[in-house]
Amino acid sequence: MNKTLSLVRRCLLMAAVAAMVSPGAAGAANPEAGSKGRRPNIIILLGDDLGFSDMGAFGGEIKTPNLDALAADGVRFTQFYTHASCSPTRSMLLSGVDTHRNGLGNMSEWTAPNQMGKPGYEGNLSRSVATLPQLLKDSGYHTYMVGKWHMGKAPDLIPAARGFERDFSLLDGAGSYWDMLNFTANTPVSLYTEDGRYLTKLPKNYYATETYTDKMISFIEANRGDGKPFFAYVAHQAPHDPYHLPRGERNGYVGQYDKGWDAVRAERLQRQKEMGIMPKDATLAERMWFVPDPTLLAPAASAMLGRKMELYAGMVENMDRHIGRLVNYLKKIGEYENTIFITFGDNGAEGTDLFEMIAGTPGTKNYLYASIAWSQNHINSWGDPHSYVGYGPMWAQVSMTPFSQYKGYFAEGGIRNALIVSGPIVKRAKGSINTAGYAHVADIMPTLLEVAGARYPETINGAKAPPLIGKSWVNMLAGKEDTPRSSKDYTAWEVFGNRAVRQGDWKIRWQYKPYGTETWELFNLAQDVAEHHDLAATQPEKVKELVALWDEYAKENNVILPNRVMAEGMVRKMPERFPVEAGFPPLMTSKQFVPPADMMADPKP
């Protein structure tokens, strides 16, 4: 009898242990186990300021064969949303919680006086939220990170403290690709961590994109063969400015962009239509009113501005090549087929001159620091250490073809991103394009918890856990539904005082002048993806309905609108806003009149 009881106890104990590490630990079966019944590996490939149309698979002319191969092996989504800026997106990606609850209600660099010290505005990923890597780690995954963190620098806020078993991370929001050089006089040195320790120096022959890839491969290799799946967060710094690139990779696009931004945008949109990325009747958003008509530029100016886009394209191609190294490594060790890849950019492309913003005005410490530390700015030095170049609003609009505006704003160009998902969870036709799947970066948390069989906690540090705001993609990726959202679901955003709501095909946005009108604008995205036509005056009831959703969102998430904003003084600094129309004014665009040859004559004596 005692022997039987002992056997029963042993069986119960074994079952309990198995439950703690099995895919069914959340109380639900793993929806898509990988090969041979193993849970799949998960890799998130994040491009920093990567534009919607930059990849070849989304209409770009930049050579991205490895990213395009992931698209051909998986599915592309054209209605995927992030936040309008870096750290807010990353905070939702890793927590699944709204920014005003997870600590990034505003970026730490722009926290307003009335937001300081308030819950949800810590400027780092709050300890009151659970993180995706921690939950996956608890469910039996290895968890690795390389690249940009941008969500806290104190010992209890760095990647190792938030669930990553191994990491090699840039803690700052940007920096040199060659060394530890940072941007301002007060913060001249970028901070890095490796496996939870702050680095005193960088590895020999450091180049960010290459080193991040080397480190991730080494992390996976170190634990290969132990039977555990891994979660890898590859948060590339590229292609965020400054555009630093090895000398041998700077001339792959020479002269290709001298034709100007309008021509490149038109070419990209045409390819998007041919691919099915955009509808046949889609049009380009209006060129930003302060951006010149490229056909009016002198050849030298066209070449100089084109050079900036050449370097950007080289950065994207370089990132793609290193992503290919990681993919090929996984194929070599037999893990590619059992790996889910989720690939996207963290927000719209960067159209603001960050260097000018950081350096400030002559006579300040930052201006002096920038003049010394970032002094290698002859065009022949662009890409070298101590050089700083970004490509400006004209090329940012190209990267966000066909949308309006770019990073920092709530036009589609600030928040809509290209998304590729591939791997064993995808049951849709390979290479297919989902144009109906209205998805959001916060969806990644519930999706991957379901895939891993992990459970979101009811409490965190003794307090009730904030709610997840996303929707799982498991059924959508399996082809059982086209979108995870109903017509009643809505998404809302706010940062820097700008705000937006989308429900179904309808969207309202409120933005400070000069990028907005400081009133609610209304757009039907199914009919007007470029947001040409503000329908607020003709659809006041729809505006009222969506504003009510905004009020509900703001109340539920304790939104504190800032009393100081980035837009201060911007109207005075920029040209007055007028519509941009092709061919106007004719004075500037009319060609020399050439009379008929048979009517030409020399003057009479």
Q: Catalytic residue among 100, 150, 322, 440, which?
A: 150
Asked if residue 15 is part of any domain, the answer here is: no
DSSP class of residue 165 equals S
Domain contains 9: no
- Locate 103 and state its tokens: 């600590």
User: Considering the domain boundaries, does residue 332 fall inside one?
Assistant: yes
Mean pLDDT throughout 126-139? 98
Q: Three-class SS of residue 369? A: helix
Would the pLDDT of 3 be above 70? Answer: no
> Phi and psi at residue 498, in whole multiples of 5°?
-80, 150
pLDDT band of residue 588 (cuts 50, 70, 90) is confident
- pLDDT for 50 equals 98
Residue by residue, DSSP assigns 169-190 as EE-SS---SSSSB-SSSS--B-
Whether 86 sits among the annotated catalytic residues: the reply is yes
> In the prediction, which pLDDT does 22 show?
33
Handedness of CA 29, 34, 38, 40 (dihedral sign): negative
Asked if residue 407 lies in contact with residue 48, where contact means CB atoms within 8 angstroms, the answer is no
β-pairing verdict for 230-235 and 197-198: unpaired
The predicted pLDDT at position 582 comes to 86
Q: How far apart are CA 162 and CA 159, in angstroms?
A: 5
CB of 76 closer than 8 Å to CB of 439: no
Show the tokens assigned to 525: 């995205």
CATH number for 259: 3.40.720.10
Q: Is the residue at 318 inside a domain?
A: yes
Q: What is the residue-averaged pLDDT of the chain?
A: 94
Residue type, 534: D
pLDDT for 33: 52
Q: Which is the catalytic residue, given 86, 236, 244, 440?
A: 86
Number of domains composing the chain:
1
Residue 10 has pLDDT above 60, yes or no: no
Residue 370 belongs to a domain: no
Confidence at residue 36, expressed as pLDDT on a 0 to 100 scale: 59
pLDDT value for 28:
39
Instruction: Tell me the C-alpha distance between 300 and 37, whole Å.
Output: 60
More reliable by pLDDT, 586 or 151: 151
pLDDT digits (tens, 9 = 90+) for 333-345: 999 999 999 999 9
Q: In angstroms, what CA-CA distances link 483 with 309, 449, 478, 505?
A: 35, 19, 11, 13
Q: Is the pLDDT of residue 5 over 50?
A: no
Q: Which residues of 384-400 are buried (b: 16+ CB within 10 A; e: fewer)?
A: bebbbbbbbbbbbbbbb
Helix intervals (H) in 29-172: 65-72, 86-95, 99-102, 132-138
pLDDT in the model for residue 295? 94
Confidence category of residue 30, pLDDT binned at 50, 70, 90 = low
Please report the sign of the dihedral spanned by the C-alpha atoms of residue 359, residue 395, residue 567, residue 509: negative
Banded pLDDT at 7 (limits 50, 70, 90) = very low
Distance CA 527, CA 598 (A): 51
Q: Give tens-digit pLDDT for 34-82.
A: 555 789 999 999 999 999 999 999 999 999 999 999 999 999 999 999 9
Look up the domain containing 64 and give its range: 40-354+388-489
Burial of 596 per CB tally in 10 Å (0-12, 13-18, 19+) = exposed
Residues 301-325 have pLDDT tens digits of 999 999 999 999 999 999 999 999 9
Within a domain: 509: no
Query: Phi/psi of residue 25, each to 5°?
Result: -65, -20
The dihedral over CA atoms of 452, 458, 459, 463, expressed in degrees to the nearest 10, equals 140
| pLDDT over 80 (residue 6) | no
Q: For residue 451, name the pLDDT band (cuts at 50, 70, 90).
A: very high
Contact 40, 340 (CB under 8 A): yes
Q: To the nearest whole percent, how much of the chain has pLDDT over 70?
A: 94
Q: Is pLDDT above 90 for 412?
A: yes
- Give the chain's radius of gyration (CA, Å): 25
386 is catalytic: no
**155-206: per-residue pLDDT in tens?**
999 999 999 999 999 999 999 999 999 999 999 999 999 999 999 999 999 9
What is the distance between the alpha carbons of residues 194 and 76, in angstroms, rounded to a whole number?
33
- On the question of pLDDT at 468 being above 80, the answer is yes
**272 DSSP 8-state letter:** H
